[in-house]
Structures are given as structure tokens and as C-alpha cells.
Structure 1
Amino acid sequence: MEPAHRGLGRCACAFWLAVAFDILGLLILLLGVFANVFFYDFLIYAGAIVIFLSLIWWVFWYTGNIEVPPSELEDDVGLLKKDKGNLGGISGAVRRLSSRVSNGIRNSFRRSDGPPRAPRTGARASAHARVAQQRDNTPVALATMTPHEDSPHTVSAAVDCDSMPHTTTETLPT
């Protein structure tokens, strides 16, 4: 048998913290309004912020005391009710559609390298390995020329690889 919670409910600590924050915030706010100090605006803002933070404790207290009968909770946590057994009807179709959509979204965020390929053999495998090694270890050199008064800036990129052509990019003078 569940213990009977009377008065403040299950979350009495959150209740008393909320009350303490409210009282402290109200005292600070009223001190800022009625006290003749040069930092009254700081006290007013600080009191309002403390009262606002008390809302966190009020929400904790309220949500901690919500009681849901287990019969209503079964459907929300994914448990099937014993009298229904299988997923038939509209609710079953909605569950299947929801599951497909969520799995599709979940899988779309996963990194995939595509379908697995068959391993290469023979001369083709060694040529493929050479090309992959060249792609991974390609040195790149950039050269900048000092600007002359009448010529545009020139940036040249040279790549030490037979498969890539030499490129030059020109820009307008600034």
C-alpha cells in the first residue's frame, strides 16, 4: 500500500524552497522600493529575479505531486494493455507509422559510407591503393606574389600530383 501524503504532498522540500525564495525576493524588492539607498535599482532587480527563480521550485513541487493512475500510465510508457494484445486498428497503424518515421529520422543522422563493396584483387587493387595513397599524401604549395602597382594579385597553387592540373587564380587589385 502506498503511503498517504497529506498536506504538502511528496515534495515538501521544493515547496519550502519556493516559499523561501518568494519571501527573500519580496524582502529584497521592498527594501529597494522603500529604503533610501543609492543602489535601490539593484535591489529591485535582484528581488524580481529571486522571485522569478522561485517559479522553478513551484514547478518542481507541482509536477512532483501529480498523480496518474497506473491504468492511464500504461499507454504513455509504451506498455500494451493486456486486453488488446496485438497492434490492430487505427492505433496500431499510427504506432507503426510513428515507429517508421522516427527510425527513418534516427537512421538519417547516422553516418553511412554506402553499401559495402566487394574487395578488389590483382592489378586493379594495387592501382586503387596507389591512387588512394596519392590522394591522402598530396602536398600542396601556395605561392603569393608581391603586388605591383599596375598588375593584379596572383595566387598560384601547385600540387605534386600528375592527376591534378596546375591552376592559377587572379583577383582584382584592391
Structure 2
Amino acid sequence: MEPAYRGLGRCACCFWLAVAFDVIGLAVLLLGVFVNIFFYDLLIYAGAIVIFLSLIWWVFWYSGNIEVPPAELEDDVGLLKKDKGGVRGISGAVRRLSSRVSSGIRSSFRRTSTRANAQRSPAQQVAVAMATMGPQENTPHVGSSAAGCDIEMPHTTTESSPT
């Protein structure tokens, strides 16, 4: 037997939290507007933020009280009726075939990526040489990579203005 929910629905806690956030946020916001204190702008912003955060509790309360009949949930959560033959039998076979194919594809990707990571050797990694240059140097540095190639690095400097 399903419990009977009156008034606020199933999520009364979310409802009361949303109301509390609204009341506290409005109180803080009005305090910042009408009380002459030096941090009134902080109170105005804080009140607006608390009222905005109450929207989270309102969404929880609303979405928690949505009622969907079980007939509409059949296809979404796998509550298919066990009919023999007909359209349900064909759709069940197609669903089983589809899940087998997709799980096979997923497992093949897992095996392929595991093999690729295991076969990668340290010699395939690329080493990059970087050098720093002072402002008086005008000749480019020549760095060497792991493959034995010489790479010419252009001269770059940064300037900063005195303050």
C-alpha cells in the first residue's frame, strides 16, 4: 500500500529549507537596505545570494514530488512486461542484441587501450630541451632532442617597465 501524502508532498524537508532560505535571505537583504551601517552592501549581496540558493531547495522539492505512473516507466527502467510473441518479443530480442553488441564494443576498446599502454616503451617518449637566455645574449641556443636532431631556439626576451 502506498502512503498518502498530504499538503507538502513527499519532500517536506526540502520545502521547509526553501522557505527558511527565502525568509533569511529576505531578512538579510532588507536589513542591508534599510539599516544605516557601513557594510550594508555586503548584507544586500549576501541576502540576494541566499535567496538564489533557495532555488536549489525549490527544485529539489518540485522534482521530488513529480509522480510518474508505472506504465510510463516500463521502457525507461527495464520494467518490460513478459509477453510471449508479438511486438514485445521482437523488441526484447532487439534490446538483447543491442546490449550484447554495445558491451562487446566497450570491452574491445578497454582491451585495445590496455594493450597500447602496456606496449609503449620509454624510447617512444619525446624529450624536449629548454634553455633560458639572458637579455644580453643574442645567439640562439642549440638544444638536442632524444632523436639526435638539433633544434635551433630563437632569441626571446621580456621587458618590464620600471615602476
Bigger helix fraction: 2
- Shift in CA distance, 15/134, structure 1 to aligned 2, threshold 3 Å: closer
SS in 2 for 1:44: helix
1: distance between equivalents of 2:105 and 2:43? Answer: 49
Equivalent position of 2:143 in the other structure:
155
Change in Cα spacing, 1:97 to 1:82, as seen in structure 2 (3 Å) is closer
Matches within 5 A, 1:56-71: 56-71=56-71
Q: TM-score, normalised on structure 2?
A: 0.65
What RMSD over aligned residues (CA atoms) do the two structures have, in Å? 4.2
Structure 2 residue ranges without an equivalent (≥5)? 157-163
Q: TM-score, normalised by structure 1?
A: 0.61
**Residues 128-166 of structure 1: CA distance to partner in whole angstroms, max 9, x if unpaired?**
xxxx99948x9x8x7x8x999675422235x6xxxx6x4
Structural mapping, 1:10-159, within 5 Å: 10-83=10-83, 84-88=87-91, 106=106, 110=110, 112=112, 135=123, 151-157=139-145
Shift of 1:66: 1.3
Matched-pair contact (CA < 8 Å) for 1:18–1:54: yes
Number of equivalenced pairs: 145
1:6 maps to 6
2: distance between equivalents of 1:56 and 1:33?
Answer: 25
Residue 82 of structure 1 deviates from its aligned partner by 3.6
Tell me, what secondary structure is at the counterpart of 1:112? helix
Greater Rg over alpha carbons, structure: 1
TM-aligned CA distance change 1:106 to 1:33, over 3 Å: farther
Instruction: Quote how far apart the aligned CAs of 1:38 are.
Output: 1.3
Q: Where in structure 1 are there 5+ consecutive unaligned residues?
A: 116-131
Encode CA deviations 1:111-143: one digit per residue, 9 max, x unaligned. Answer: 61598xxxxxxxxxxxxxxxx99948x9x8x7x
TM-aligned CA deviation for residue 26 of structure 1: 0.6
